[in-house]
A and B are shown apart, each in its own frame.
Chain A
Amino acid sequence: MASKSISTRLNALPYIESRKEQLRYNLREFPWWLPAMAVIALVTYSQIFTQSSYNQAFNFIKIGLTMTITTTVWAFATALGIGLVTGLGRISSNVVIKNLATLYVEFIRGIPMLVLIFFIAFVGVPAVVGGFNQLVITFAELGAPVPAQFLSGMQSRSVPMNLRAIIALSITYGAFLAEIFRAGIQSIGRGQMEAARSQGMSYWQAMRYVILPQAVRNVLPALGNDFVAMLKDTSLVSVLAVRDITQVAKLYAAQSFRYPEAYTTLTILYLTMTVVLSMLVKLVERRLGRNERR
């Protein structure tokens, strides 16, 4: 990409006269934070593996990892779908669709995530379940053949909290990802759509084969960042008593009174996951940069 090559050129080494100055430059530019972080992680992990109180806390808390990771993956995958559809809706020429999509995005963006999680889990899901039951009753009264197990009515509590957590996170992140997709699509020049349409492709064919492949490639770094952010935000679902690592750590601290052990372990677990993920995102980014076909 043109802009990328310009920025690399701007960041290129300035002209350096002497060796001493070169050394000074290198020392100043070295990413010192990286070894510092590695040392902190190393010290913490050695503590976890050598001290039995930390070891106990770690073994207790790691049970929550599966929940944290599956919640992140499922919620993000769902949010991707919601985001893509909403993002396309935001640029739709259909006034109704466009406004519905915008309403959803603006609504979600104006509410704290924690509040949304409460609202969706304790108001949204029961309301949908209630609505479904009402629908079944109406259908049955109209004489439609309704399977017997539906007639007894669905219970809100049969929707488990971890599913509600995934629904809440998906709806929240769907709005964020919609904006990313919209920006990605709008970053592709008008000429691309015109070229595709001039060849007889329909709007959706042009979207599918010409615009989206380029748009998605452009927004992959942003999507990667949001995936990392989502991983961190799953800690909020502990308020629904979903047993992710945060909830499990809370439980451990409360029952053992070993607060430093519980929360240090929790912190280092999140940090490890996010740093590793960020590195993966950068790797993917670099690989894409190498294959950049512009």
Chain B
Amino acid sequence: MNDAEPIIVIKNLHKHFGDVEALNGVDLEIQRGQVVVIVGPSGSGKSTLLRCINHLEIETAGEIWVDGQRMTQDQRQLNAMRSEIGMVFQLFNLYPHLTALENITLAQRVVRKLPAAEAEEIAMKQLTRVGVAEKAHCYPAQLSGGQQQRVAIARALAMNPKIMLFDEPTSALDPEMIQEVLDVMLDLAREGITMVVVTHEMDFARAAADVAVFMDEGRIIEQGLPEVIFDHPNEERTQLFLSKILHK
């Protein structure tokens, strides 16, 4: 694959839920190693866009290309592609019947067919990376929200993904736990992992993002360097949104 090629290409993406138009013609290109932060009011289609990238939502019209391959509905291709795209959810979605370690090894064993010992080694490495190695044998219920989300990040990283998608990863956390998750994400951003992050954390966006994207009503209103978008937005809607969330 050519490294100069964008890793994600989204062309004229539309998504309808019944009569509701969640996405209304989105075009976006994301380069390798870029950290892209998507902001916008609720209902603007940010999460839908993110979920379309790994086809948790199937687009109504348009195209999504990941690493030179078009995302189709062919299940075999889809499973292979998804295993290369890590996803972190707002509500963590850890498997409650498995320990932290087992949460991470499951897909490696089932999807990657790795032997148990190797999967565990990788899992421990990732747990150490996100700073919860000592909780390896705890069940999700025994962990705080911040720890759960860090395990969820480790679970995604263990698949050695080309892209990491974050869907409001700190929105369900108590305030005192937000920073520990953001710190892990900042580390990942510095390591050069391609990340697409839907978030309301402006400080994180400024510190980590290469590109900020502002969405409203299913469209990308503007995109550019975070300092430009956040400090000197061109569009009135962006200004309005930022004034609401920055002076609350």
Interface residue ranges, A against B (CB under 8 Å) = 189, 191-192, 194-203, 205, 209-210, 213-214, 217, 292-294
Q: List 6 A-B contacts (CB under 8 A).
A: A192-B93, A194-B93, A201-B107, A210-B95, A292-B141, A293-B139
Report the bound CA distance from A214 to B93 in whole Å.
13
| Chain B residues closer than 8 Å to A197, beta-carbon distance | 56, 79, 82
Partner of B96, one of A194, A202, A205, A293: A293
| Chain B residues closer than 8 Å to A194, beta-carbon distance | 56, 89, 93
Let me know if B111 is at the binding interface, CB within 8 A. yes
Tell which of B82, B89, B97, B156 has the most Cβ of chain A within 10 Å. B97
A293 engages B56 (CB within 8 Å) = no
Enumerate the 5 nearest inter-chain pairs by beta-carbon distance, A residue then B residue, closest first: A200-B83, A195-B93, A199-B107, A293-B139, A191-B93
| Chain A residues closer than 8 Å to B56, beta-carbon distance | 194, 197-198
B111 engages A200 (CB within 8 Å) = yes
Partner of B110, one of A191, A195, A201, A213: A201
Closest CB of chain A to B43's CB: distance in Å? 19
Let me know if B106 is at the binding interface, CB within 8 A. yes
Closest CB of chain B to A196's CB: distance in Å? 8
* Extra 16 A-B pairs, beta carbons < 8 Å, given A199-B82, A214-B95: A189-B93, A195-B87, A195-B89, A195-B95, A198-B54, A199-B156, A199-B159, A200-B83, A200-B111, A201-B79, A202-B75, A203-B75, A214-B97, A217-B97, A294-B140, A294-B141
0 or 1 for each of B69-110: is its CB under 8 Å from A? (1 = yes)? 000000100011111111101010111110000000011001
Query: Which A residue sits closest to B158, measured CB to CB?
Result: A199
B interface bracket (residues with beta carbon within 8 Å of A): 20 to 34
| Chain A residues closer than 8 Å to B106, beta-carbon distance | 199, 209-210
Majority secondary structure of chain A interface residues (helix, strand, loop or mixed): helix
Query: Which A residue sits closest to B95, measured CB to CB?
Result: A210
Query: Which B residue sits closest to A2, measured CB to CB?
Result: B141
A191 engages B89 (CB within 8 Å) = yes
| Chain A residues closer than 8 Å to B86, beta-carbon distance | 198
| Chain A residues closer than 8 Å to B111, beta-carbon distance | 199-201, 205
B80 engages A293 (CB within 8 Å) = no
Q: How many residue-residue contacts, CB under 8 A, span A and B?
A: 71
Given A191-B89, A209-B106, are A198 and B96 neighbors across the interface (CB < 8 Å)?
Answer: no
Report the bound CA distance from A209 to B95 in whole Å.
10
Which residues in chain B, 129-165, are within 8 Å of chain A measured between CB atoms? 139-141, 155-156, 159
Tell which of A199, A200, A201 has the most Cβ of chain B within 10 Å. A199
| Chain B residues closer than 8 Å to A214, beta-carbon distance | 95-97
| Chain B residues closer than 8 Å to A196, beta-carbon distance | 95, 107
| Chain B residues closer than 8 Å to A293, beta-carbon distance | 96-97, 139-141
Interface residue ranges, B against A (CB under 8 Å) = 54, 56, 75, 79-87, 89, 91, 93-97, 106-107, 110-111, 139-141, 155-156, 159
| Chain B residues closer than 8 Å to A209, beta-carbon distance | 106, 110
Report the bound CA distance from A202 to B80 in whole Å.
10
Tell which of A192, A203, A210, A292 has the most Cβ of chain B within 10 Å. A210
Closest CB of chain B to A276's CB: distance in Å? 29
Report the bound CA distance from A293 to B94 in whole Å.
12
Report the bound CA distance from A121 to B96 in whole Å.
44
Report the bound CA distance from A85 to B87 in whole Å.
31
| Chain A residues closer than 8 Å to B159, beta-carbon distance | 199-200
| Chain A residues closer than 8 Å to B156, beta-carbon distance | 199
| Chain B residues closer than 8 Å to A202, beta-carbon distance | 75, 79
Report the bound CA distance from A293 to B98 in whole Å.
8
Closest CB of chain A to B192's CB: distance in Å? 22
Closest CB of chain B to A203's CB: distance in Å? 8
Closest CB of chain A to B153's CB: distance in Å? 12
Closest CB of chain A to B89's CB: distance in Å? 6
Partner of A192, one of B75, B80, B83, B95: B95
Query: Which B residue sits closest to A205, measured CB to CB?
Result: B110
Closest CB of chain B to A40's CB: distance in Å? 42
Report the bound CA distance from A205 to B109 in whole Å.
11
Closest CB of chain B to A126's CB: distance in Å? 43
Query: Which A residue sits closest to B96, measured CB to CB?
Result: A294
Closest CB of chain B to A213's CB: distance in Å? 5
Query: Which B residue sits closest to A203, measured CB to CB?
Result: B75
| Chain A residues closer than 8 Å to B96, beta-carbon distance | 214, 293-294
Closest CB of chain B to A69's CB: distance in Å? 32
Closest CB of chain B to A1's CB: distance in Å? 9
| Chain A residues closer than 8 Å to B75, beta-carbon distance | 202-203
Query: Which A residue sits closest to B159, measured CB to CB?
Result: A199
A198 engages B87 (CB within 8 Å) = yes
Partner of B82, one of A198, A217, A292: A198
Report the bound CA distance from A289 to B219 in whole Å.
48
| Chain B residues closer than 8 Å to A213, beta-carbon distance | 97
Report the bound CA distance from A72 to B160 in whole Å.
50
Report the bound CA distance from A198 to B83 in whole Å.
7
Report the bound CA distance from A197 to B159 in whole Å.
13
Tell which of A194, A203, A214 has the most Cβ of chain B within 10 Å. A194
